Amino acid sequence: MFEAGLPVTTVLADRPCAGLELAARHGAAAELVDRKLYGGFGADFDREGFTATVAATLVAHQVDLVAMAGFGTVMTEAVHRAFPNRILNTHPALLPAFPGWHGVRDALAAGVAETGCTVHLATLEMDAGPILAQEAVPVQPGDTEESLHERIKAVERVLYPATVAWALRELEAGRSIEPEKEQTRR
């Protein structure tokens, strides 16, 4: 997002990562809401408490639009109340096909000829929000999960920033972020 020249003000992560260092290098706020403090990845995870802290942190930074990438946590109502229809997510498949954490692996297992990348509005249900943009990536003979995922990520690095830029223009114009046919490409 920084490379695309987007006005990134805050980077929030759920564990220490390179994204926080990147934020600091670019003068953006770097916020860690450590998932370990809310039960980690196990059955004791306090999703409500974690989401409330994420929402409060983003509100404190006066964020206009949330663009999730690799977050892997379905957030509760608290963040959606704070940022109604202003949370974007990216997924490595052509939704609605292959939702969930293993979209690339699932696409390969299904033997599809193409998969791709989807940018959608995040909702309370995983990978089920309105689709804003998609781009197909062909599955090549001999593809592994890693090789296919790398090609999908190359598409995502163009599609996601372009969609975020579009969403910011919509918000600046006083319009809501809604799917438009010309935004969806296959």
Could you give the residue numbers annotated as active site?
Answer: 91
Cα gap 17→48, rounded to integer Å: 23
Strands 87-91 and 66-67 come out as parallel
Spatial CA neighbour of 88 closest among 181, 186, 176: 176
Confirm if 184 and 95 have CB atoms less than 8 A apart.
no
Cα gap 78→122, rounded to integer Å: 13
Cα gap 155→87, rounded to integer Å: 20
Q: At a CB cut-off of 8 Å and minimum separation 6, what does 181 contact?
A: none
Cα gap 50→47, rounded to integer Å: 5
